[in-house]
Amino acid sequence: MPKRKSSSKTSLKAGKSSKKSCRKRGKVKVAINGYGTIGKRVADAVSLQKDMCVVGVTKTKPDFEARMAVKKGYKLYAAIPERAELFERAGIEIEGTIDDLLEKVDIVVDCSPGKIGAENKPKYEKAGVKAIFQGGEKAGVAEVSFNALACYDKALGKDYVRVVSCNTTGLTRVLYLIKENFGIEKVRATMIRRVVDPKEDKKGLVNGIMPNPITLPSHHGPDVQTVLDVDITTVAFKVPTTLMHVHSLNIVPKEVPKVDDIVDVLEKEPRILTFEESDGFTSTAKIIEWAREVRMRYDIFENCVWRDSVAVVDGEIYLTQAIHQEAIVVPENIDAIRAMFELKSREESMELTNKSLGIGEIRA
């Protein structure tokens, strides 16, 4: 029976349980700085692991996401100390400020908007905690950039790690697999990006297509190169949709595979899902419709590759994938924590993360 009621209940107790679990010894104590689109997903994912726990989360303002954090049992802290009072006035209990929180944790996952992570770094250094930054920051903010499949070991024992962006994560997973199996001479990728996340209602392109950037190539290619050694040139556009990015890939392999070999390689990796047009998956809208049935928040942590799109033309591979920008980096953040504390090997960590998030259990 679909225990929607209880499932929502359970979900609303995420933090409560984790509070308890933080009392257990040996767990890595995690702070989430910025309980927004990425932060709330990472918080829930951390709560699902046995070797780490969420000590607290921060918000800059007392909105419904802040209330939700509290309802879920997360201890809430003001991300901007001067704004602590706003939470009180809104009737939302906070435990202190980000500074108080940093004293209690081993690591902070910075989930603030792009560029703010770098501004926060001195605070983390001062508090002597490790920190993970997201892909909106420049690579220089951390010692290494991170993708679990492509370069887990680089983050072993590191203090500052940057999980690359949703687009870069999506590209890297597929390219790593193709490279490992067939070698790569060259990659050309065109990215068609959702202009804003679903929760945005003030900014975004309404009717049009926006080269972003106009000057070619885009920054995504060099960003992939921070985690995978591959010759890649990228072009990117923004279009008026909120659901997922879509990547159109052209890959020149060293060894020309058959289409079935490529599909096999992709389908063996749990962090990649394949979809078929004949099942009705004609657009990102249909993939999301499917995901609404299988995961809370329709979170798709996996790359979504259209199996029908995999083609080999004149020795070059073509494929199209969709990337759920809100969710795809969540497993990588968990793996990054494990690598930074040298808790597990790449294979072990990815398996634990996958199992906890249901990755590898569902197929479209």
Name which of residues 19 to 48 contact its own copies (CB under 8 A). 21, 40, 44, 47-48
Q: How far is the CB of 153 from its own copies (least distance, A)?
A: 27
Per CB under 8 A, the segment of 13-21, 107-115, 150-158, 342-350 that binds its own copies is 13-21
Residue 262 tokens read as 């490529």
Q: Please give the biggest Cα pair distance in the chain.
A: 65
85 binds its own copies per the rule CB under 8 A: no
83 binds its own copies per the rule CB under 8 A: no
Name which of residues 134 to 173 contact its own copies (CB under 8 A). none
Name which of residues 323 to 352 contact its own copies (CB under 8 A). none
Q: State the Cα–Cα distance between residues 28 and 22, nearest whole angstrom.
A: 8
Rg (CA), the chain: 20
53 counts as catalytic: no
Q: How far is the CB of 139 from its own copies (least distance, A)?
A: 20
Per CB under 8 A, the segment of 125-133, 151-159, 263-271, 356-364 that binds its own copies is 356-364
Single out the catalytic residue among 111, 151, 166, 304.
Answer: 166
Q: In terms of Cα–Cα distance, which of 335, 165, 184 is closest to 249?
A: 184
State the binding string over 237-266 for its own copies (x if CB under 8 A, else -): xxxxxxxx-x-x-x----------------
Kindly tell me which residue out of 118, 127, 156, 210 binds its own copies, with binding defined by CB under 8 A: 210
Q: Which helix (H) or strand (E) holds 267?
A: helix 259-268
Per CB under 8 A, the segment of 101-109, 231-239, 262-270, 339-347 that binds its own copies is 231-239
Phi and psi at 277, nearest 5°, equal -60, -35
CB 305 within 8 A of CB 331: no
Per CB under 8 A, the segment of 124-132, 136-144, 190-198, 344-352 that binds its own copies is 190-198
Distance of CA 243 to the CA centre of its chain: 15
CA distances from 218 to 60, 170, 243, 297 (A): 31, 16, 21, 30
Planar angle of CA 209, 250, 254, nearest 5 degrees:
160
Where in the sequence numbering do the catalytic residues fall?
166
